[in-house]
Amino acid sequence: MCEPWVGDVEQALGVGMEDLQRLSGGDFAAAYRATLSNGRHVFLKTHADPPPGFFSTEAAGLAWLVDAGTARVARVLGFSDDPPWLALEYIPLGRGPAGDEAAFGRALAGLHASGAACFGREDRRTTGSQAVPNTPCGDWPSFYAECRLQPLARRARDADALPIRCIAALERVTNTLGEVGAGDEPAARLHGDLWAGNRVVDGQGRSWLIDPAAHGGHREFDLAMMRLFGGFEAAAFDAYQEMTPLQPGWRERVPLHQLAPLVVHAIKFGGGYVGAVEEALRGLGAFAADRR
């Protein structure tokens, strides 16, 4: 094992490493299953050139989710930004029973309800592969406009990732966030990147959260992300709604909350995500021609 960070991991964990197996999945960091000399397995992540403070930010986010005491979250064993790596407890994957979906929905409701001190992050650290800002804000419309839609619109324009009409429509959306409803909710404790690949199920059918972009935000954001790429059953959403009902109009706001991750994917991958951004904007009536 000639990886330059291996010795740093061994020193931090206080145990040698006997084997390192590359795992599939993930579009940003490289993932491994490490076998330690004591026989224990550890999940490791690293990156050749991550944004500043990337793994310490992720470690802090995981710890913040753990502090809520509701959802199961992969435990941090160690981390470093130089050299860059993150070690987590290894979760053996399995195929859990469908009933776990309801348990996950209830756990997620509890996680959101545990709250956050602000919209954004108190430490102001950026999150995600696009390093979106998390400047503390006192309300959701300000946060979603200033820390998500506006900076992402600028990056999409600079990267020529979206047509000009989409950029203009995104800017119009930011001016109407106070009119869409549910803007009076307090900040929820969000996972922040809750697609199916960041919820793993162990051999006992229990759901675990990994790879967060944790921040204080609108709870509908996590739920909209779950609907964007699928992988969650109706029982999870039904159980969530029973625990903490959503405000009226939440269905109409789903494409609004999906805009940010869709723009991120359009910037990174292009292709069909450009059309998906256009579809979401059209559903929100954000194109000037559609508003006449």
Residue 4 in tokens: 């330059």
Q: 81, 158, 184, 193: which one is catalytic?
A: 193
Q: Compute the Cα dihedral for 239, 245, 246, 248 and give only its sign.
A: positive
Q: Are 72 and 207 in contact (CB under 8 A)?
A: yes
CA distance 219 to 11: 39
Tokens 């904007």: give the residue. Answer: 281
Contact of 191 with 56, CB cutoff 8 Å: no
CA-to-CA distance for 107 and 109, rounded, in angstroms?
A: 5
Burial class of 89 by CB neighbour count within 10 A (0 to 12, 13 to 18, 19+): middle
Tell which residue, 59, 63, 65, has the closest CA to residue 111: 65
Give Rg (Cα) of the chain: 20
Q: Which two tokens mark 181?
A: 């409803």
If one counts every other C-beta atom within 10 angstroms of the C-beta of residue 103, the result is: 19
Catalytic residue list contains 27? no
Q: Among all residues, which ones are annotated catalytic?
A: 193
